[in-house]
Structure 1
Amino acid sequence: MNLIVFDGECVLCSGFFRFMLRHDRARQFSFATAQSPLGQLLYREHGLPTDDFETNLVIVNGRTYQRLDAFAAAMRALPWPWPALSVCRFLPGRLKNALYFSIACNRYRLFGRFDTCMIPSPKVRERFADGGFDG
């Protein structure tokens, strides 16, 4: 199962989720919010804080990606032209991390924050890996 775990309160992260939902026509990905029990478990398993979600997790073919590598892995799975955006994976690690964290650490200030996680429609809810949606 390919999975994207995202911060359901972050406007930018939720926008990434909606983008993937719209462009993943082959339905390769399931989703979970970082606030859900599954999201919390995966963040703990990867040594990430369970109260500050500065990175989305993208799991493809059993391999977990974080930060810009997660974005690149998700883009590679989509139809053309989106895989072209995965070139960011070739940037030097220090540059990738600096770019990523400059946005991630300021994402609520730059893009906003929802008071609560969104409540998906039943059709969207079926795409969530944990069978539901906790926020």
Structure 2
Amino acid sequence: MAATFPGGLNLSISPSHLQRRHARFSNLMTRMTRGADGVDWVQATSTYFDKDSRPIMLFDGVCNLCNGGVKFVRDNDQKRNIRYEALQSEAGKKLLQRSGRAPDDISSVVLVEKDRSYIKSEAVLKIMEYINLPFPQLAFFLHLVPLFIRDFAYDNLADNRYNIFGKSDSCELYVD
């Protein structure tokens, strides 16, 4: 495969080069899904997607802001495209590990799809894509804001969520 760019720059990529890059990427993905304990968390949590392929939104079950966010998403997800699980639950901990996070990391909302996970502002924007209008369009425009700026704002809110919005004594788990 070859391409010629303006100024005479010639770029050629051989099939063997692509195979080597694919092999490196596959090895990287295998290392990312296998935890420090050697468990393949994608395989270990695959049953969560066997009968129901909808993504799972992981949220801090004792955070008032997070519970309000789940209520907001449920109210605007008339087709019930998303499932919900508290980060503190056993399933939530396993799905966190599947996403490359520590099982006790409750610092971020996480959206887990069958083949991919999203954290922080990326999770919020992906969730917006699943719910009713006008949120998918708003997510499209928010993607224009650089990730480091979105995650900076997200981290500041997440770090202060208990001080600003409070904390409940127990998880108000929203079940489908």
TM-score normalised to structure 2 length:
0.64
Residue in structure 2 matching 1:59, options 112, 115, 123:
112
Contact kept, 8 Å, 1:5 with 1:34, in 2: the verdict is yes
| In structure 1, distance between residues paired with 2:142 and 2:149 | 10
The amino acid of 1:6's aligned partner reads F
The answer for the alignment partner of 1:29 in structure 2 is 82
Matched, 1:89 2:143: yes
Which deviates more, 93-102 or 58-67? 58-67
Contact kept, 8 Å, 2:95 with 2:112, in 1: the verdict is no
| In structure 2, distance between residues paired with 1:97 and 1:77 | 20
Identity of aligned residues (%): 28
Contact kept, 8 Å, 1:6 with 1:13, in 2: the verdict is yes
The amino acid of 1:110's aligned partner reads I
The one of the two structures with greater contact order (alpha-carbon pairs below 8 A, sep at least 6) is: 1
Residues 82 and 92 of structure 1: is their aligned pair in 2 closer, same or farther, counting only changes over 3 Å?
same
| In structure 2, distance between residues paired with 1:48 and 1:109 | 24
Residue in structure 2 matching 1:40, options 78, 88, 93:
93
| In structure 2, distance between residues paired with 1:72 and 1:38 | 23
Per-residue CA deviation, residues 5-39 of structure 1 (Å, 9 max, x unaligned), is 11110001111111111111101111100011110
Structure 2 residue runs of 5 or longer lacking an equivalent are 1-52
The amino acid of 1:111's aligned partner reads F
Residue in structure 2 matching 1:18, options 41, 62, 71:
71
Which deviates more, 27-36 or 89-98? 89-98
Deviation at 1:62, TM superposition (A): 3.0
- How many residues align? The count is 122
**Structure 1 runs of 4+ with >6 Å offset:** none
Deviation at 1:113, TM superposition (A): 0.5
Structure 1 residue runs of 5 or longer lacking an equivalent are 128-135
Per-residue CA deviation, residues 96-126 of structure 1 (Å, 9 max, x unaligned), is 1211101001110011111111255xxxx3x
Residue in structure 1 matching 2:172, options 79, 96, 118:
118
The amino acid of 1:113's aligned partner reads K
TM-score normalised to structure 1 length:
0.81
Residues 52 and 19 of structure 1: is their aligned pair in 2 closer, same or farther, counting only changes over 3 Å?
same
